Amino acid sequence: MIELVLGGARSGKSRYAEQQAIHCGLPVLYLATAEAGDAEMRARIAHHQQRRPSEWQTLEEPVELAAAIQTHANPERCLLIDCLTLWLSNVLFDRHGSIQEQQFATRRAALLAALRDCRGRVIMVSNEVGMGVVAADTMTRRFVDEAGFLHQDLARICGRVVLVTAGLPQRLK
């Protein structure tokens, strides 16, 4: 089964996803998409690392997520992907903040295809960013739009979709 766990910043979505992975009873491979670009992000990554069970394997894959899913997904393993919105940022924008249209479209399509073909247990974590005001700048509006479109496409593929708010999971699908 493939599951999408959505929520805002500090909503408890990662903790919920980690508990789902523990309870599925399979060995877990944690696919981390974050890159430690500054001290605050390094602290966030460290917090997540400390919380994970020691027997979990971790693979850092900030861009080639589809290939990682194709390589590592199988019925005897749970893939926990955290976080899709960081991945989206990594593939949508280059290091200078310019949009990478063709690379983004290719990687997005590859991710959706890999998930449609996947036969293993996959839990994906992503930030729900579309519940606030419309952003003032073009780049942020594009990011929010793409996150929303990606979540809609993922929700169609997933067997379960959960929204976590204040640490409380609400099953949407």
Residues with catalytic annotation? 48
Q: How far apart are alpha carbons 148 and 102 in whole angstroms? A: 19
Give kind and range of the element (H or E) at residue 168: strand 168-171
Q: How far apart are alpha carbons 85 and 143 in whole angstroms? A: 9
Cα end-to-end span (Å), the chain? 12
What's 10's DSSP letter? T
Q: Where are the beta strands (DSSP E) in 1-159?
A: 2-7, 28-32, 57-60, 78-82, 121-127
State how beta strands 168-171 and 160-165 pair.
Answer: antiparallel
